Amino acid sequence: MPPVIELDQLRVRLGRREILKGLSCRLGVSGSGKAIGLLGPNGAGKSTLIQALLGFHKPSGGGARVLGFDCRTQPREVKARIGYMPENETLIANVTAVSFLRLMGELSGLPAEAALEKAHETLFHVGLGEARYRPLGTYSLGMKQMAKLAQAIIHGPELVILDEPTNGLDPAARRRMLTLIREMKQDHGMNIVLCSHLLRDVEEVCDEAVILKDGQIVHHADLEAERQSNKRFVELEVAGDDSGLAAALREMGVESIREGDGRWRMVLPPGVEIDALWRIIAALDLRVHKLTHRRDTLEEIFLKAVGHLPSGAAAAPEQPEEVAADGRL
């Protein structure tokens, strides 16, 4: 089975400016039902990459394949297998939701009768069944986002590209949107490309993430492997003679960096618990001023990749487990 997306030195030039500068990667290589996060600061080239995959921007060099089809030479085959939820509003204000979805279904190749049936079914699926006869212009922002999602999936595409799907949603609507995305992936075998500025959304639903900066790929993260690795990152501050701590940690297979003045950073491998670290501290007769531990987050990966965080530093954890100065939890 081909990768969901395969980029081979993809270059895209708009006017005199080169936007994408030789992108190469293989995303979603292990089959259907994969979610890929597309991240990057403003101007990184995310929208240009999406438009290139959809066939709206012709490569100036290299190429791209979607589900095994060449975006340059087989654009009809690519478009037939993709659903697209744009960031900007593209709804027709004075048309009812069911009429709009029927139109979109027919444009995607469904017969008229099947398109109407799928329009009703899809609107109920996204929670708009009771409002399906209302004009789209009367919808709230959250309802419009759900309508945009519905038009993207009405024809049952193999790949759905979602551009900022939770933008402007309240917490309840955001949770509903993420639940629908997970169901699309897990229950219906759809592949997802999720472009979002909300890193937590990507971390919650995606299996991998690619980070762009200045038109280049600066990091490709296997989020599923990160979850399964169960590594924990520890920040420790102690008082006393810590000269023997590095050797003791090395014997346990713990990677560590001594920053001076009793401050340490370390990575606990799978199988090594915090209790083992406490035993070493007690054996060396060290007093603990601070100890925090957490998993690496997508925010840290992102900040390091785009250059806003030194590679040896770490962002502040959201809710770390921490001990007080007297060593009590």
pLDDT at 255: 84
Residue 228 has what pLDDT?
62
> From the CB of residue 119, how many other CB atoms can be counted at a distance below 10 Å?
26
In words, the CATH class of domain 5-226 is alpha beta
Domain map (residue ranges) of the chain: 5-226, 230-322
- Using alpha carbons, list the distances in angstroms from residue 52 to 87, 201, 288: 16, 24, 54
Strand, coil or helix: what is 18?
A: strand
d(CA 129, CA 124): 4
Cα 208 to Cα 21, 233, 301, 319, distances in angstroms: 21, 21, 12, 23
C-alpha neighbours within 13 Å on the C-beta side of residue 288 = 21
Structure-block tokens of residue 244: 């023997």
How many angstroms separate the first and last alpha carbons of the chain? 50
Please tell me the predicted confidence (pLDDT) of residue 253. Answer: 87
Mean pLDDT, 10 residues at a time, the chain of 329 residues: 94 95 91 89 93 93 95 93 93 96 95 97 96 96 96 96 93 94 94 92 92 93 72 85 91 87 85 86 92 70 63 42 40
Question: Against a cut of 0.85, is the pTM above it?
Answer: no
Q: Give the model's pLDDT for residue 296.
A: 58
**Distance of alpha carbon 143 from alpha carbon 206, whole angstroms:** 24
The reported pLDDT for the residue numbered 71 is: 94
> What is the architecture of the domain spanning 230-322?
2-Layer Sandwich (3.30)
